[in-house]
Structure 1
Amino acid sequence: MKEIRCGNCRRKLAEGEYLRLSIKCPRCGTLNYLSAESTEPERRGAPIFLNRSNHASHQTKPAPGQS
């Protein structure tokens, strides 16, 4: 979990995870607007390999009638 602190006085306001949040600091009265910088990507299917040198090479066969 991530600490959520006031942008003005740095008082710890909360601890957790958020997408969007607005929270008022009880010490200085600043209204803090926070949003997630990025979300973790959902895993969909098999991973994409950028470097195929460690994997079996793929050879394509010519279409019938082509050489």
Structure 2
Amino acid sequence: MQDIRCGQCNRKLAEGQIITIKIKCPRCHTLNSLSATRAEPERHRASPPRANHEQQSHHSVAGRQAPPG
């Protein structure tokens, strides 16, 4: 959890996780508007399949064995 403090007088106004909030400080009467930059953690997606994997491969050929024959 994080402390939510007044931007003017630094008084602690709340504690928790925010998405969007507007809160007026009872001490200095400043209206504080806060919002999260991202509501949920970013999820990693699988990369799209490639049309021709052999031509677009960026893997090193070092250490590969040659086919027999």
Class of the TM-score when normalised by the shorter of the 2 chains: 0.5 to 0.7
Gaps of 5+ in 2: 48-52, 55-69
Larger Rg computed on CA atoms? 2
Matched residue count: 49
Does structure 1 residue 34 correspond to structure 2 residue 34?
yes
Tell me the residue number matched to 2:10: 10
Identity score, percent: 54
Give me the TM-score of the superposition, normalised by structure 1. Answer: 0.60
Structure 1, unpaired ranges of 5+: 49-58, 61-67
Runs of 4+ in 1 over 2 A off after TM superposition: none
Q: C-alpha root-mean-square deviation of aligned residues, in Å?
A: 2.1
